[in-house]
Amino acid sequence: MSSAYAGPGKYIQRAGEISRLSQHVAPLGRNVLVLIDPFLFDRFSSPLQRDLEGAKLSVHLEKFGGECTLAEIARVAAIARGKESQILVGVGGGKAADTVKIAAFEANARTVIVSTIASTDAPCSAVAVRYTSEGVYEGSARLPRNPDLVVADTSIVASAPVRFLVAGIGDALSTWFEARSNLESRTNNYVAGGVPPTAAGIAIARACHDVLMRDGLKAKQAVEAGLCTTAVENLIEANTLLSSIGFENCGCSAAHGMHGGLTALSETHGMLHGENVAFGTLCLLMLENRPIQEIEEMIRFCEQVGLPTTLAELGLPGDLRYYANRIAEASLAEGESTHACPVDVSVALVSDLILALDATTTRMRAARH
Protein backbone atom coordinates (compact mmCIF):
# COMPACT_ATOMS: atom_id res chain seq x y z
CA MET A 1 0.00 0.00 0.00
CA SER A 2 1.03 3.62 -0.53
CA SER A 3 -0.38 7.02 0.37
CA ALA A 4 0.77 10.63 0.51
CA TYR A 5 -0.32 13.92 2.04
CA ALA A 6 0.54 17.52 1.17
CA GLY A 7 -0.31 20.95 2.55
CA PRO A 8 1.15 24.43 3.09
CA GLY A 9 4.12 24.86 5.40
CA LYS A 10 2.17 27.21 7.64
CA TYR A 11 -1.37 28.67 7.58
CA ILE A 12 -2.25 31.72 9.66
CA GLN A 13 -5.79 33.13 9.83
CA ARG A 14 -6.33 36.24 11.94
CA ALA A 15 -7.74 39.71 11.65
CA GLY A 16 -5.08 42.32 10.90
CA GLU A 17 -2.45 39.72 9.97
CA ILE A 18 -1.42 41.54 6.79
CA SER A 19 0.03 44.30 8.97
CA ARG A 20 2.23 41.68 10.67
CA LEU A 21 3.38 40.01 7.46
CA SER A 22 7.05 40.92 7.97
CA GLN A 23 7.17 38.80 11.14
CA HIS A 24 6.38 35.72 9.08
CA VAL A 25 8.35 36.61 5.95
CA ALA A 26 11.64 37.71 7.51
CA PRO A 27 12.75 34.17 8.53
CA LEU A 28 12.41 33.05 4.89
CA GLY A 29 14.86 35.49 3.26
CA ARG A 30 15.81 39.13 2.72
CA ASN A 31 14.86 40.03 -0.87
CA VAL A 32 11.09 40.12 -1.40
CA LEU A 33 9.00 40.50 -4.57
CA VAL A 34 5.34 41.31 -3.85
CA LEU A 35 2.80 40.73 -6.63
CA ILE A 36 -0.48 42.53 -5.90
CA ASP A 37 -3.82 42.25 -7.70
CA PRO A 38 -4.31 45.46 -9.70
CA PHE A 39 -7.52 46.54 -7.95
CA LEU A 40 -5.76 46.17 -4.57
CA PHE A 41 -2.44 47.78 -5.49
CA ASP A 42 -3.23 51.33 -4.35
CA ARG A 43 -4.71 50.07 -1.09
CA PHE A 44 -1.95 47.72 0.02
CA SER A 45 1.29 48.69 -1.72
CA SER A 46 2.38 51.42 0.70
CA PRO A 47 1.43 49.64 3.97
CA LEU A 48 3.13 46.43 2.82
CA GLN A 49 6.27 48.27 1.77
CA ARG A 50 6.47 50.07 5.13
CA ASP A 51 5.98 46.86 7.09
CA LEU A 52 8.50 44.81 5.11
CA GLU A 53 11.14 47.52 4.88
CA GLY A 54 10.67 48.13 8.60
CA ALA A 55 11.97 44.59 9.09
CA LYS A 56 15.08 45.48 7.04
CA LEU A 57 13.88 43.56 3.99
CA SER A 58 14.61 44.59 0.40
CA VAL A 59 11.21 45.00 -1.29
CA HIS A 60 10.02 45.29 -4.89
CA LEU A 61 6.28 45.75 -5.54
CA GLU A 62 4.71 44.65 -8.81
CA LYS A 63 1.16 44.89 -10.15
CA PHE A 64 -0.36 41.58 -11.28
CA GLY A 65 -1.39 41.41 -14.95
CA GLY A 66 -4.81 39.94 -14.19
CA GLU A 67 -4.57 36.45 -15.73
CA CYS A 68 -2.40 33.48 -14.83
CA THR A 69 -0.96 33.02 -18.32
CA LEU A 70 2.36 31.60 -19.46
CA ALA A 71 3.42 35.11 -20.45
CA GLU A 72 2.54 36.60 -17.05
CA ILE A 73 4.30 33.78 -15.22
CA ALA A 74 7.41 34.31 -17.35
CA ARG A 75 7.30 38.08 -16.71
CA VAL A 76 7.08 37.69 -12.93
CA ALA A 77 9.75 34.98 -12.84
CA ALA A 78 12.09 37.20 -14.88
CA ILE A 79 11.59 40.10 -12.47
CA ALA A 80 12.26 37.78 -9.53
CA ARG A 81 15.49 36.53 -11.08
CA GLY A 82 16.57 40.06 -11.96
CA LYS A 83 15.93 41.29 -8.42
CA GLU A 84 17.46 38.13 -6.93
CA SER A 85 14.24 37.70 -4.97
CA GLN A 86 14.36 34.99 -2.32
CA ILE A 87 10.64 35.27 -1.53
CA LEU A 88 7.65 35.86 -3.79
CA VAL A 89 4.50 37.14 -2.10
CA GLY A 90 1.14 37.00 -3.89
CA VAL A 91 -1.55 39.35 -2.57
CA GLY A 92 -5.08 38.96 -3.90
CA GLY A 93 -7.19 36.20 -5.44
CA GLY A 94 -6.58 32.77 -6.89
CA LYS A 95 -5.03 33.81 -10.20
CA ALA A 96 -2.45 36.02 -8.52
CA ALA A 97 -1.71 33.17 -6.08
CA ASP A 98 -1.26 30.63 -8.87
CA THR A 99 1.01 32.97 -10.83
CA VAL A 100 3.24 33.46 -7.80
CA LYS A 101 3.34 29.72 -7.03
CA ILE A 102 4.66 28.86 -10.49
CA ALA A 103 6.94 31.90 -10.83
CA ALA A 104 8.47 31.25 -7.41
CA PHE A 105 9.30 27.70 -8.40
CA GLU A 106 10.87 28.86 -11.66
CA ALA A 107 12.91 31.51 -9.81
CA ASN A 108 13.88 29.11 -7.01
CA ALA A 109 12.25 31.35 -4.39
CA ARG A 110 10.08 30.76 -1.34
CA THR A 111 6.31 31.22 -1.74
CA VAL A 112 3.98 33.31 0.43
CA ILE A 113 0.29 33.80 -0.36
CA VAL A 114 -1.83 36.52 1.25
CA SER A 115 -5.51 35.82 0.60
CA THR A 116 -7.71 38.90 0.44
CA ILE A 117 -10.80 36.97 -0.66
CA ALA A 118 -12.06 33.46 0.10
CA SER A 119 -13.27 32.72 -3.41
CA THR A 120 -11.11 29.70 -4.35
CA ASP A 121 -9.02 26.95 -2.81
CA ALA A 122 -5.90 28.01 -4.75
CA PRO A 123 -3.76 29.56 -1.96
CA CYS A 124 -2.60 26.45 -0.08
CA SER A 125 -2.07 23.89 -2.83
CA ALA A 126 0.84 22.94 -5.08
CA VAL A 127 -1.56 22.94 -8.05
CA ALA A 128 -1.79 26.06 -10.23
CA VAL A 129 -4.30 26.66 -13.01
CA ARG A 130 -3.28 28.48 -16.19
CA TYR A 131 -5.56 30.40 -18.56
CA THR A 132 -5.25 32.05 -21.93
CA SER A 133 -5.23 35.85 -22.06
CA GLU A 134 -8.95 35.60 -22.91
CA GLY A 135 -9.68 33.71 -19.68
CA VAL A 136 -10.12 30.23 -21.19
CA TYR A 137 -8.83 27.33 -19.09
CA GLU A 138 -5.54 26.09 -20.55
CA GLY A 139 -4.15 23.53 -18.12
CA SER A 140 -2.89 22.83 -14.62
CA ALA A 141 0.64 22.71 -13.27
CA ARG A 142 1.48 20.35 -10.43
CA LEU A 143 4.37 21.88 -8.55
CA PRO A 144 6.85 19.93 -6.40
CA ARG A 145 6.08 21.93 -3.26
CA ASN A 146 3.28 23.82 -1.55
CA PRO A 147 3.47 27.45 -0.44
CA ASP A 148 5.71 28.03 2.55
CA LEU A 149 3.18 30.35 4.17
CA VAL A 150 -0.47 31.27 3.61
CA VAL A 151 -1.99 34.23 5.44
CA ALA A 152 -5.73 34.88 5.54
CA ASP A 153 -6.54 38.27 7.07
CA THR A 154 -10.16 37.80 8.12
CA SER A 155 -10.83 41.53 8.47
CA ILE A 156 -10.00 41.96 4.76
CA VAL A 157 -11.67 38.76 3.54
CA ALA A 158 -14.91 39.40 5.44
CA SER A 159 -15.14 42.96 4.07
CA ALA A 160 -14.82 41.88 0.44
CA PRO A 161 -17.99 41.73 -1.71
CA VAL A 162 -20.15 38.80 -0.61
CA ARG A 163 -20.10 37.34 -4.12
CA PHE A 164 -16.47 36.28 -3.60
CA LEU A 165 -17.29 34.41 -0.40
CA VAL A 166 -20.23 32.70 -2.11
CA ALA A 167 -18.01 31.70 -5.04
CA GLY A 168 -15.62 30.19 -2.52
CA ILE A 169 -18.51 28.16 -1.13
CA GLY A 170 -19.17 26.91 -4.66
CA ASP A 171 -15.54 25.88 -5.14
CA ALA A 172 -15.40 24.22 -1.71
CA LEU A 173 -18.73 22.45 -2.29
CA SER A 174 -16.99 20.27 -4.87
CA THR A 175 -14.30 19.09 -2.44
CA TRP A 176 -16.02 16.16 -0.74
CA PHE A 177 -18.06 15.10 -3.76
CA GLU A 178 -14.98 15.02 -5.98
CA ALA A 179 -13.03 13.22 -3.25
CA ARG A 180 -15.77 10.58 -3.11
CA SER A 181 -15.71 10.33 -6.89
CA ASN A 182 -11.96 9.69 -6.92
CA LEU A 183 -12.16 7.21 -4.06
CA GLU A 184 -14.78 5.18 -5.92
CA SER A 185 -12.85 5.26 -9.21
CA ARG A 186 -9.57 4.59 -7.35
CA THR A 187 -7.96 7.59 -9.06
CA ASN A 188 -4.71 8.88 -7.56
CA ASN A 189 -4.42 12.28 -5.95
CA TYR A 190 -2.09 15.17 -6.91
CA VAL A 191 0.71 14.46 -4.43
CA ALA A 192 4.12 13.00 -5.29
CA GLY A 193 3.13 12.33 -8.88
CA GLY A 194 -0.19 10.82 -7.84
CA VAL A 195 -0.84 8.25 -5.11
CA PRO A 196 -3.86 7.20 -3.03
CA PRO A 197 -4.89 9.69 -0.32
CA THR A 198 -4.17 9.37 3.37
CA ALA A 199 -6.95 9.06 5.95
CA ALA A 200 -6.07 12.62 6.99
CA GLY A 201 -6.69 13.98 3.48
CA ILE A 202 -10.04 12.20 3.22
CA ALA A 203 -11.11 13.41 6.67
CA ILE A 204 -10.26 17.01 5.80
CA ALA A 205 -12.29 16.81 2.58
CA ARG A 206 -15.28 15.55 4.57
CA ALA A 207 -14.77 18.22 7.25
CA CYS A 208 -14.87 20.88 4.52
CA HIS A 209 -18.33 19.72 3.49
CA ASP A 210 -19.56 19.62 7.09
CA VAL A 211 -18.50 23.23 7.70
CA LEU A 212 -20.24 24.40 4.51
CA MET A 213 -23.50 22.71 5.44
CA ARG A 214 -23.39 24.05 9.01
CA ASP A 215 -22.09 27.58 8.47
CA GLY A 216 -22.38 28.45 4.77
CA LEU A 217 -25.70 30.29 4.82
CA LYS A 218 -25.04 31.91 8.21
CA ALA A 219 -21.68 33.19 7.00
CA LYS A 220 -23.16 34.63 3.82
CA GLN A 221 -25.86 36.46 5.77
CA ALA A 222 -23.31 37.83 8.24
CA VAL A 223 -21.03 39.20 5.51
CA GLU A 224 -24.05 40.79 3.81
CA ALA A 225 -24.66 42.61 7.09
CA GLY A 226 -21.01 43.70 7.32
CA LEU A 227 -20.21 41.32 10.18
CA CYS A 228 -17.40 38.84 10.87
CA THR A 229 -18.90 36.08 13.01
CA THR A 230 -17.63 32.65 14.06
CA ALA A 231 -19.48 31.22 11.07
CA VAL A 232 -17.57 33.59 8.77
CA GLU A 233 -14.25 32.61 10.35
CA ASN A 234 -15.11 28.93 9.93
CA LEU A 235 -16.12 29.42 6.31
CA ILE A 236 -12.95 31.30 5.42
CA GLU A 237 -10.98 28.33 6.74
CA ALA A 238 -13.15 25.87 4.80
CA ASN A 239 -12.89 27.81 1.54
CA THR A 240 -9.16 28.51 1.83
CA LEU A 241 -7.51 25.69 3.80
CA LEU A 242 -9.81 22.66 4.05
CA SER A 243 -10.93 22.77 0.43
CA SER A 244 -7.34 23.18 -0.77
CA ILE A 245 -6.00 20.26 1.24
CA GLY A 246 -9.06 18.20 0.35
CA PHE A 247 -8.82 18.58 -3.41
CA GLU A 248 -5.03 18.20 -3.59
CA ASN A 249 -5.00 15.09 -1.42
CA CYS A 250 -8.09 13.45 -2.91
CA GLY A 251 -8.27 14.79 -6.48
CA CYS A 252 -10.73 16.67 -8.69
CA SER A 253 -13.46 15.16 -10.86
CA ALA A 254 -16.29 16.33 -13.12
CA ALA A 255 -17.14 19.44 -11.09
CA HIS A 256 -13.86 21.01 -12.17
CA GLY A 257 -14.06 19.32 -15.56
CA MET A 258 -17.35 21.14 -16.11
CA HIS A 259 -15.67 24.38 -15.08
CA GLY A 260 -13.12 23.81 -17.82
CA GLY A 261 -15.96 23.21 -20.26
CA LEU A 262 -17.79 26.36 -19.20
CA THR A 263 -14.74 28.59 -19.64
CA ALA A 264 -14.63 27.53 -23.29
CA LEU A 265 -17.83 29.59 -23.78
CA SER A 266 -17.23 33.33 -24.02
CA GLU A 267 -20.70 33.92 -22.57
CA THR A 268 -19.56 32.60 -19.16
CA HIS A 269 -16.46 34.73 -18.77
CA GLY A 270 -18.30 37.02 -16.36
CA MET A 271 -18.75 34.11 -13.95
CA LEU A 272 -16.37 33.43 -11.09
CA HIS A 273 -14.48 30.13 -10.84
CA GLY A 274 -16.51 28.88 -7.87
CA GLU A 275 -19.82 29.74 -9.50
CA ASN A 276 -18.94 27.52 -12.45
CA VAL A 277 -17.66 24.79 -10.14
CA ALA A 278 -20.87 24.82 -8.09
CA PHE A 279 -22.91 24.13 -11.23
CA GLY A 280 -20.35 21.47 -12.14
CA THR A 281 -20.78 19.86 -8.72
CA LEU A 282 -24.50 19.46 -9.30
CA CYS A 283 -23.71 18.00 -12.72
CA LEU A 284 -21.31 15.56 -11.06
CA LEU A 285 -24.07 14.31 -8.77
CA MET A 286 -26.32 13.80 -11.80
CA LEU A 287 -23.54 12.07 -13.74
CA GLU A 288 -22.92 9.62 -10.91
CA ASN A 289 -26.67 9.02 -10.52
CA ARG A 290 -26.68 9.94 -6.84
CA PRO A 291 -29.95 9.70 -4.85
CA ILE A 292 -32.45 12.39 -5.82
CA GLN A 293 -32.64 13.48 -2.18
CA GLU A 294 -28.93 14.37 -2.21
CA ILE A 295 -29.20 16.19 -5.55
CA GLU A 296 -32.21 18.21 -4.45
CA GLU A 297 -30.57 19.05 -1.11
CA MET A 298 -27.53 20.47 -2.87
CA ILE A 299 -29.68 22.38 -5.37
CA ARG A 300 -31.55 23.98 -2.46
CA PHE A 301 -28.28 24.82 -0.71
CA CYS A 302 -26.89 26.49 -3.83
CA GLU A 303 -30.09 28.48 -4.26
CA GLN A 304 -30.00 29.60 -0.62
CA VAL A 305 -26.47 30.98 -0.80
CA GLY A 306 -26.85 32.35 -4.35
CA LEU A 307 -24.98 29.90 -6.58
CA PRO A 308 -26.15 29.07 -10.14
CA THR A 309 -28.24 25.94 -10.67
CA THR A 310 -29.41 26.52 -14.26
CA LEU A 311 -27.75 27.33 -17.57
CA ALA A 312 -29.60 30.65 -17.71
CA GLU A 313 -28.00 31.68 -14.41
CA LEU A 314 -24.62 31.06 -16.02
CA GLY A 315 -25.51 33.51 -18.78
CA LEU A 316 -26.56 30.77 -21.24
CA PRO A 317 -30.22 31.27 -22.17
CA GLY A 318 -31.91 30.11 -25.36
CA ASP A 319 -30.83 26.92 -27.09
CA LEU A 320 -29.92 24.82 -24.04
CA ARG A 321 -28.99 21.73 -26.05
CA TYR A 322 -26.45 23.75 -28.02
CA TYR A 323 -24.77 24.99 -24.85
CA ALA A 324 -24.94 21.58 -23.15
CA ASN A 325 -23.20 19.95 -26.11
CA ARG A 326 -20.43 22.54 -26.17
CA ILE A 327 -19.83 22.27 -22.41
CA ALA A 328 -19.81 18.48 -22.64
CA GLU A 329 -17.31 18.42 -25.49
CA ALA A 330 -14.90 20.78 -23.74
CA SER A 331 -15.27 19.05 -20.36
CA LEU A 332 -14.19 15.76 -21.92
CA ALA A 333 -11.03 17.06 -23.56
CA GLU A 334 -7.95 14.93 -23.01
CA GLY A 335 -6.60 15.40 -19.50
CA GLU A 336 -9.80 16.93 -18.07
CA SER A 337 -10.71 15.73 -14.58
CA THR A 338 -14.16 14.64 -15.77
CA HIS A 339 -12.51 11.35 -16.68
CA ALA A 340 -11.88 10.65 -12.97
CA CYS A 341 -15.58 9.80 -12.50
CA PRO A 342 -16.36 6.17 -11.60
CA VAL A 343 -18.68 5.97 -14.66
CA ASP A 344 -18.13 5.73 -18.40
CA VAL A 345 -18.49 9.25 -19.77
CA SER A 346 -19.39 10.47 -23.25
CA VAL A 347 -20.42 13.75 -24.83
CA ALA A 348 -23.98 12.50 -25.22
CA LEU A 349 -24.24 11.43 -21.56
CA VAL A 350 -22.70 14.61 -20.16
CA SER A 351 -24.87 16.79 -22.39
CA ASP A 352 -28.00 14.96 -21.24
CA LEU A 353 -27.14 15.21 -17.56
CA ILE A 354 -26.58 18.97 -17.88
CA LEU A 355 -30.08 19.31 -19.31
CA ALA A 356 -31.42 16.92 -16.67
CA LEU A 357 -30.00 19.14 -13.93
CA ASP A 358 -31.55 22.23 -15.53
CA ALA A 359 -34.91 20.43 -15.74
CA THR A 360 -34.70 19.23 -12.13
CA THR A 361 -34.10 22.76 -10.84
CA THR A 362 -36.94 24.09 -13.00
CA ARG A 363 -39.29 21.38 -11.69
CA MET A 364 -38.37 22.10 -8.06
CA ARG A 365 -39.05 25.80 -8.52
CA ALA A 366 -42.38 25.18 -10.22
CA ALA A 367 -43.44 22.88 -7.34
CA ARG A 368 -42.83 25.72 -4.84
CA HIS A 369 -45.19 28.08 -6.66
* Catalytic positions: 171, 256, 259, 273
Measured between alpha carbons, how far is residue 268 from residues 65, 166, 262, 276, 311 in Å?
21, 17, 6, 8, 10
What's phi and psi for 46, nearest 5 deg? -70, -50
**Contacts of the segment 318-325: beta carbons below 8 A, 24+ positions apart:** 320/355, 320/358, 321/351, 321/355, 323/265, 324/350, 324/351, 324/352, 324/354, 324/355, 325/351
- The beta strands (E) that lie in 58-126 are given as 58-63, 87-92, 110-115
Give yes or no for a contact between 261 and 331, defined as CB atoms under 8 angstroms apart: yes
Residue 33 vs residues 26, 68, 80, 259: alpha-carbon distances, Å = 13, 17, 7, 31
Adjacent-strand bridge partners of 62:
35
Residue of 196, 325, 306 lying closest to 265 (CA atoms) = 325
Report in angstroms the alpha-carbon separations of 51 from 18, 75, 149: 9, 25, 17
Angle at 339 between CA 94 and CA 275, to 5 degrees: 35
Q: Is the dihedral of CA 329, 335, 341, 343 positive or negative?
A: positive
φ, ψ of residue 76 to 5 degrees: the values are: -65, -40
